[in-house]
Amino acid sequence: MRYIEQEKVVRRMNGRMVVNRVFQGLFMFATALALLALVILLYRIVSQGAGHLSIDFLTNFASRFPDQAGIKAALVGSIWLMAVVAPTSILLGVGSAIYLEEYAKKGRITTFIQMNISNLAGVPSVVFGLLGLTIFVRALALGNSILAAGFTMSLLILPVIIVAAQEAIRSVPGELRDASYGMGATKWQTIVRIILPAAIPGILTGSILALSRAIGETAPLIVVGIPVIIQFLPEGVMDTFTALPMQIYDWSSRPQAEFQTVAAAGIIVLMVVLLFMNSIAVFIRNKFDKSY
């Protein structure tokens, strides 16, 4: 008795292969479509904004007149913002990761903190803005300052940094740790002198990627009440400021068509900053990626 009907299999073979080909084409087409979206997006922005890019654009303040509008205040503001966000978020993120990976006992509290972190990562950024508005701007009376916005952004990207730092610490092999203890080092000495140096490339890569998210975020800044039109540069963390995405948002939402060109030029500046940060991250990953 034959289990396989040879004829039936042969008859259906061609059809099955055609179906396979058709769907392969469809799946490929869908993937190409996603990539095409990125190409069109980048092409549109560069072709629209490149004409407006100049040294003047980088060194002028915002203006009512599109041809004089510059991005100086926003660019400097974004750098100030990062100067607050980077130390705050990396300190909190790495500290939390060390606690969770090295000190915390696996139990209910650790599971709870871990679950809380992944849930926090899913909270919309605009809700973080409401938190910042209530706590930092009003309750702590920091006003529309770099500090208030910086703390808000730090909390927003905190979950990303914690998870990245945890993975980096986890990937440090156990032998290094054991060797350090074997030499009589204490736990903290082992962490500071052995584990952190080994984990630092991973931590930095993750942190830079998280920071590049913070530099492009707009919604929390709007909710916190960061102004757009600013004709001076901040001199300290308690000064008010504006940032690249805020400035781009303002230009994009103006009705005059000329301002769309200015907005596109602003987006090019933002994308170049992002590209720069991402290149550093990739460079660190490749340069220091040790395999044990």
Partner 1 sequence: MRTSVQELIAKSKDKKSKKIIEKLIPVLLFLIASVSVLTTIGIVLTLIIETVTFFTRVPLSEFILGTTWLPFANSGAQFGIWPLIVGTLKITGIAIVVAVPIGISAAIYLSEYASDNVRRVVKPILEVLAGVPTIVYGFFALTFVTPVLQSFFPDIKIFNAISPGIVVGIMIIPMIASLSEDAMSSVPKSIRDGALAMGSTKFEVAWKITVPAALSGIIASVVLGLSRAIGETMIVSLAAGSTPKFDGDFTGSIQTMTAYIVQVSKGDAGYGTTIYYSIYAVGFTLFLFTMAMNILAGYMSKRFREEY
Q: Least distance in Å: CB of 260 to partner 1? A: 5
Q: Which is nearer to partner 1, 187 or 235 (CB)?
A: 187
Q: Which is nearer to partner 1, 1 or 34 (CB)?
A: 34
Distance of CA 34 to the CA centre of its chain: 21
Residue 227 identity = P
* Residue 183 to residue 178: CA distance in whole angstroms: 9
Q: Enumerate the β-bridge partners of residue 145.
A: 240
Q: Do the beta carbons of residue 269 and residue 71 sit within 8 Å? A: yes
Q: Which is nearer to partner 1, 63 or 118 (CB)?
A: 118
Q: Which is nearer to partner 1, 49 or 234 (CB)?
A: 49
Query: Left if phi > 0, otherwise alpha if psi is -120 to 50, otherwise beta: which for 184?
Result: left
Q: Of the candidates 247, 252, 259, 254, which has an alpha carbon nearest to the alpha carbon of residue 215?
A: 247
* Residue 248 to residue 26: CA distance in whole angstroms: 37
Q: Of the candidates 158, 124, 123, 145, which has an alpha carbon nearest to the alpha carbon of residue 224?
A: 145
Q: Least distance in Å: CB of 251 to partner 1? A: 9
Q: Which is nearer to partner 1, 44 or 68 (CB)?
A: 44
Q: Least distance in Å: CB of 246 to partner 1? A: 9
Q: Which is nearer to partner 1, 66 or 225 (CB)?
A: 225
* Residue 258 to residue 244: CA distance in whole angstroms: 18
Residue 240 identity = T
Q: Which is nearer to partner 1, 24 or 54 (CB)?
A: 24
